[in-house]
Each structure stands twice: as structure tokens, then as C-alpha cells.
Amino acid sequence: MDFSKDLSIIILAAGKGKRMKSEIPKVLHRICGQPLIYHVLKQAASLGPKNAFIIIGHKKEVVREYLDNNFPSVKAIDQDSQSGTGHAVMMARHDFPDMGKNILILSGDSPLITAGTLDSLIKLRSENDLSVSILTSITQDPAGYGRIIKDRDGKVLKIVEDIDASREEKMITEVNSSIYCFDKDHLQENIDNIDIQNSQGEYYLTDIVEMLINKGKRAETFVISDHQETRGINDRSQLSEAEDMLRQRINKKHMKNGITIHNPSSVYIEGTVQIEPDTIIEASCFLRGDTVIGKGCSIGSFSQIDNTKIGRSTIVKSSVIIDAEIGPENNIGPYSYIRPDTTTGKKVKIGAFCEVKKSSIDEGSKVPHLSYVGDTEIGTGVNIGASSVMVNYNGFSKSRTIIEDGAFIGSDTMLIAPVRIGKGAIVAAGSVITGDVPGNAMAIERAKQKNIKNGAVKYRNRKKMDREK
């Protein structure tokens, strides 16, 4: 169903979240790399609403800044005094004329809710011409939740908050999710009639349900099978539990799409990550941000990859890659550190214990092991010997090294930037190169070796005499 003309969304996100014990507004605490409110807004946006509103209060400037930078089309409305959910909806009363027939009300701290569930809730109200449809679930541990009170025929009578419920009402296991779809006119006509005659002295949005029923209007519940989908976040423990659930959901989605994940309970993949089929993710990997992994790759255990594009058929062994672009058929690691602004071409090898920073490495080139490559341009078919260092920093500024196609850099070489190694040149092992090397030349810079006859014996005897003094 297309709700774009008839659906408006109000998200309640003004609460302080005292149990989080944090200076950060509750809805900006993160799971799977994004704030709680991001997950709610993402699902809401997929419904294609006419407009969306969010009620903000505690540290509203911080929340508003996040919304402006990430969801600029959502209108933020201030609730300076947090006096309950009903009062929060009252803050949007001036915008009711611009809203659609269906008004979906969500909690900003329910990150596990899905668009499919919300779609079903809206259809229930719209197709049955209800005043309100209420999203509920069944749980054997209903403490803390509002109870759904029904008559013997299953008709909704009212919602009673946990703190106000009688002993008998507390035995009810169908609980309120605090997610509703209202008929706009019925909500608008009754929102200002809510009072504060309750133990909390707050304006409960739940009271409007009983008010509508007493006026002969109809309300029904949509009971979902998974209670966890509706759970809100009130403390750090619940935050962690929700992240585990969301992470499992993300991992299952990838596995259904043709990705092999070994020991998925240990693998952390954020919802923004894209992975193509036939890729294998080993245990204890972390994939974050805007990472894109091509088809048929292998990501080894303990790898951490952030905001990086990886070409098809590339192997990454236990390495850290951040803000880089890795070409196809590369072989990275183990234990390499690829830093921001690094790009590689096809069939590049970066071996064990290498660090590469702000550099480009073209097709077929190799940095096999134990080397540092910083601020460097490496052409095609280049070989960098073990323990080589591109010395890019003089204590005041950084300079670039250029190594042209087909050059060979011997082991334990230092290239002091700025320097250019010409096409096909060879730099002998153990050299410290401070000047340009022409194409096809061989550069060598070493002190002449001197062997002292019996020098080792004399050295040991001298050390022995020093100890005896």
C-alpha cells in the first residue's frame, strides 16, 4: 500500500534516559554503529510518509544537530517540559492540519522495530476504519509494560500503565509497545482532553484509547509474534542486548544473500556494510561504516575494515583497513595496517606486518613484509624488499616518494623523501637513498665492509676484563 499521501509519523524522543547514566541523549546512544533514533527513522522513512515529526526535549540542541545533518526532512518539535507521552503529542497539535489520515506514533528508543510490522499496523487501522490500532506483544515477563485490558469477547477497553495496574491487571501478558496508528481527526479532537489523574501526574497517551472507546469508537491490537521487536532501551544492559539482536539480524540477512559467515555470533557487521555473494567472513571480524566488499572475497579472522571498498576475489588476513580502496585479487596481511587514502590496483600484495598510509600501489606490485609505505606512489610490477621504509617526515613536513614501473627495492632500504626511483631501476639492499635514481640504474649506498682479524676474540676478552674489575 502507498501511504505517502495518507501517512504522517510522530516520533517521541524527548526523554532524558536517566538510567543510561550519560551526558549523551538516550536516542543518540549507538548500536551497530548508528544512534537509536537512526534505526527508527530508517524504518519509518521506508514507509514513504507524507511527512515526519520528532518531539525533542532533553539536550535538544544536540539531537537537532544530528537530525539536521542526517535527516533534514524530519521536523523537530520542542517539548521543553517532559510531562508524559500525551503531552509530547500535544506539542505537534499545530502541525495536525498538514498531516495525513494515518498518524503513526513511534518511540525513538525502539531500534528493533521493522517497517513490515509498521506497515501491518497501519493497514489494520486503515482497512478496518479504526480510531486506533495498537501494536502489542505477548510476554511472560510483562513488568514495566502497560497492560492491554480487553473484555471477554476480546475487544479493547483500555490500556493501564504498569505503575497504575491492579494485582489482577498485572497478571495480563499482552503488553503495550507504545506504538500506535491513529485516525488523525480522532486524535486531533481528543488529544487536549487528556488529564493527569494518575500516579505519575503525567499526560498519558494511553488514556486517549479509553476516551475513544467510551465515545463508541473502535480500537484493535496487532499482536506481533516477537516481543523483542518492540522493546525499548532504558539502560546500558538493554542497549547491549538490543545490539546483539540487531547484529544477528544483519548477519542472517547477509547469509541469506549468499555470504558465508563462520561463527556469526562473533562477527560484527554494521547495517551500512554491503557484501557481494560468495564472500567468506571468518570469526571475530569487524566491518563498519560504508564498507563495500566485492564478490568472492575472503576476510580472515580478527580483521577490522572501516569505510573501505574491497574489490572482488581479494584476500584479507587478520588486518586493519581504514578509509581505503583495495583493488581486485589483492592479498593483504596477515597483520597489516592499511591507513586512510590508500588505493591499490589489481593483484597487489601487501604482506605481513606492513603499514601503508596515503599511498597508491599499482597493478602487480608487492610489499611483501615488514615495511612502511607512507605518502608514496608505486607503479606497476614493483617489488619492495622486506623491512624497507619510505621516510616521508622530516620533523616539520611530509614529502612524497615516487617509485616507477618495474623498479626493485632491496631489503632494508630507506628512501628519504622527496625522491623518485626511475622505471626499471634497482636499489641495492641496505641502502639509504637521498637522491633520485634514473630509470634502469642501480643505486647502492653502503659503507665499505671491514673485517678485523680475531676481532671477536679481542672483544669478548675485553668485556670479560671489564666484569672482573
Distance CA(109)–CA(213), nearest Å, equals: 28
Residue-level pLDDT at 4:
56
| Domains, the chain, ordered by start | 7-230 (3.90.550.10), 236-443 (2.160.10.10)
Residue-level pLDDT at 350:
98
3-state secondary structure of 223: strand
Distance CA(236)–CA(234), nearest Å, equals: 7
Instruction: State the burial class of residue 332 (Cβ atoms within 10 Å of its Cβ: 0-12, 13-18, 19+).
Output: buried
Residue-level pLDDT at 200:
78
- Pair 403, 377: CB distance under 8 Å: yes
Residue-level pLDDT at 17:
87
Instruction: Give ∠ CA 327-254-11 in degrees, rounded to 5.
Output: 110
Which positions ≥6 away from 88 have C-beta within 8 Å? 12, 14, 55, 57, 79, 82, 205
Tell me which residues are annotated as active site. Answer: 369
**Which amino acid, residue 222?**
F
- Pair 79, 7: CB distance under 8 Å: no
Residue-level pLDDT at 81:
86
Distance CA(365)–CA(407), nearest Å, equals: 10
Terminal-residue alpha carbon distance, the chain: 95
Residue-level pLDDT at 202:
85
**Which amino acid, residue 413?**
T
> Of the candidates 232, 301, 296, which has an alpha carbon nearest to the alpha carbon of residue 268?
301
pTM for the predicted model, two decimal places: 0.90
The number of helix segments (H) and strand segments (E) in the chain equals: 9, 41
> Of the candidates 138, 134, 183, which has an alpha carbon nearest to the alpha carbon of residue 159?
134
Residue-level pLDDT at 33:
96
Distance CA(448)–CA(345), nearest Å, equals: 39
Mean pLDDT of successive 10-residue stretches along the chain, which has 469 residues: 78 92 95 97 96 95 97 95 91 95 96 96 96 96 93 94 92 96 96 83 89 95 94 94 97 98 97 98 98 98 98 98 98 98 98 98 97 98 98 95 98 97 97 97 92 93 87
Of how many residues is the chain composed? 469
> Of the candidates 378, 389, 303, 298, which has an alpha carbon nearest to the alpha carbon of residue 345?
378
Residue-level pLDDT at 196:
82
Residue-level pLDDT at 2:
59
